Amino acid sequence: MADFVQFAVSGLTIGAVYALVALGFTLIYNASSVVNFAQGEFVMLGGMATVFLAALGLPLPAAAVAAVIAAVAVGIVVHALVIEPARGANAVTLIILTIGVSLVLRGAAPLIFDKQFHKLPGFSGEAAVGVLGAAVQPQAFWVVGGAAVIVLALKLFLARTLFGKAVLATAADRMAAMLAGINTGVIVGFAFATSAAIGAIAGILVTPITLTSYDVGVMLSLKGFAAAVLGGIGSPLGAVAGGLLLGLLEALAAGYLSSTYKDAAAFVVLIAVLMAMPGGLARVKQVERV
């Protein structure tokens, strides 16, 4: 039992990271149908920028805020220079564009930062806390809690504010939203800025656990994308569920089956889920273009 709890804690912590990356995917996908493979790079930016700003002497909270602002600025620039000019391009072209962006960010990061691994101190210290017989890093609570707060805030924002509703309208039908007088370019730009912020916050929250370096983004983009699709791409709650499930699968597979084949186990289940529910966990309706 204690072992199971330990595995579950491990899975949920990593799953919360995947969930945050998946959430970023979802937001941009909803606003613009773009699958942004540079999402993992925002996570890297958040972690690395905080590390380096803190090294320059900034207090940690200030460094974290500045890092998020920097990531948002990058998100806005990416949208303005790359995504907006490519409006109307087909889905694969857009994917390649975002892969190009991720290469640019990953190529620039070692020039601005460096190529070594870095860490941040745990926000509430490093001493493990006992939960139902399992030892938990205090930072894990920050990660899971942070993910919960972000999901809630996003949900409230989308449901309660006029701007949020405009985002939802754009997601549902861009043409109709435009006809209704919504400046969809601004909405998509906003989605990029918000995704960048979510990514950067995720990066800051997880760096005390996962450590960071200029190239952590690749794997995170991959797993985050898988999680978003598992949840049913386009559904924020699905993204969170997909992320947590993917993390849990990996940890349980590592604990009970084989640590070497844990990623395989996770992907086999993922493919099986997609077979059974071709729209992902949230059963998003697949739109068929005629």
Among the listed ranges 150-158, 176-184, 195-203, 221-229, the one in contact with another protein (CB under 8 A) is 221-229
Between 166 and 206, CB nearer to another protein: 206
Residues in 143-182 at the binding interface with another protein, rule: CB under 8 A: none
> Which residues are CB-contacts of 182 (< 8 A; sequence separation ≥ 6)?
166, 169, 170
The binding track of 228-247 with respect to another protein, each residue x by CB under 8 A or -, is -xx--x--------------
Structure tokens at 162: 């006029």
Q: What is the DSSP letter of 79?
A: I
Residue type, 217: G
The angle, 0 to 180 degrees and rounded to 10, between the axes of the packed helices 217-231 and 2-32 is 80
Is 260 a residue that touches another protein (CB under 8 A)?
Answer: yes
Buried b (16+ CB within 10 A) or exposed e, 9-35: bbbbbbbbbbbbbbbbbbbbbbbbebb
Between 43 and 193, CB nearer to another protein: 43
Q: How far apart are CA 39 and CA 6, in angstroms?
A: 29
Residue type, 137: Q
| Shortest reach from residue 258's CB to another protein, in Å | 8
Which of 108, 131, 178, 237 touches another protein by CB under 8 A?
A: 108
Between 29 and 190, CB nearer to another protein: 29
Among the listed ranges 59-67, 69-77, 87-95, 149-157, the one in contact with another protein (CB under 8 A) is 87-95
Which of 131, 169, 237, 274 touches another protein by CB under 8 A?
A: 274
Between 54 and 166, CB nearer to another protein: 54
Q: How far apart are CA 268 and CA 230, in angstroms?
A: 12
Among the listed ranges 86-94, 150-158, 181-189, 190-198, the one in contact with another protein (CB under 8 A) is 86-94
Residues, the chain: 290
Between 182 and 189, CB nearer to another protein: 189
Q: How far apart are CA 267 and CA 253, in angstroms?
A: 11
